[in-house]
Amino acid sequence: MEKVLEFGSSRVKPDVRRLSDMREVIYDIEWLKGAPDMELYYMYRDLAVSKGDRSIILDHRLRYDITVIPPNRLGAEYVKTAGHYHPFVEGTSYTYPEVYEVLRGTAHYLLQKCEGGRITDVVMIEAKEGDKAIIPPGYGHVTINPSNRELKMANWVSRDFSSIYEPYKKCGGAAYFELADGRLIRNGRCDHIPDIRFLKPTNIAKLGLSKGKEMYGLVRDVEKLAYLNRPQDYGWLWEAALSDKNRAVR
List own/partner pairs for 180-188 with CB under 8 A and 24 or more apart. 180/73, 180/76, 180/77, 180/78, 181/76, 184/124, 185/27
Minimum CB distance to ligand F6P, residue 16 (Å)? 10
Residue 237, SS3? Answer: helix
Name the residues that contact ligand F6P, by CB under 6 A.
Answer: 17, 43, 45, 65, 67, 81-84, 98, 155, 157, 163
Cα–Cα distance for residue pair 147/144, rounded to 1 Å: 9
Closest separation in Å from C-beta 71 to ligand F6P = 16
Query: 73: part of which helix (H) or strand (E)?
Result: strand 73-74
The residue (of 38 and 195) whose beta carbon lies closer to ligand F6P is 38
Cα–Cα distances (Å) from 57 to 87, 118, 187, 224, 248, in that order, read: 21, 36, 38, 13, 33
Phi, psi of 166 (to 5 degrees): -55, -45
- Of the pair 14, 208, the CB lying nearest ligand F6P is at 14
| Strands of the sheet with 118-128, listed across from one edge | 139-144, 106-115, 118-128, 196-199
| Residue 184 C-beta: closest distance to ligand F6P, Å | 19
Nearby residues of 16 by Cβ (< 8 Å), 6 or more positions away: 39, 41, 42, 43
Q: Select the residue whose beta carbon is closest to ligand F6P and give its number.
A: 67
Give the nearest distance from C-beta 244 to ligand F6P in angstroms.
26
CB of 209 to ligand F6P, least distance (A): 17
Cβ-based nearer residue to ligand F6P, 17 or 211: 17
Shortest spacing between CB 82 and ligand F6P, in angstroms: 4
Q: Which is nearer to ligand F6P, 67 or 202 (CB)?
A: 67
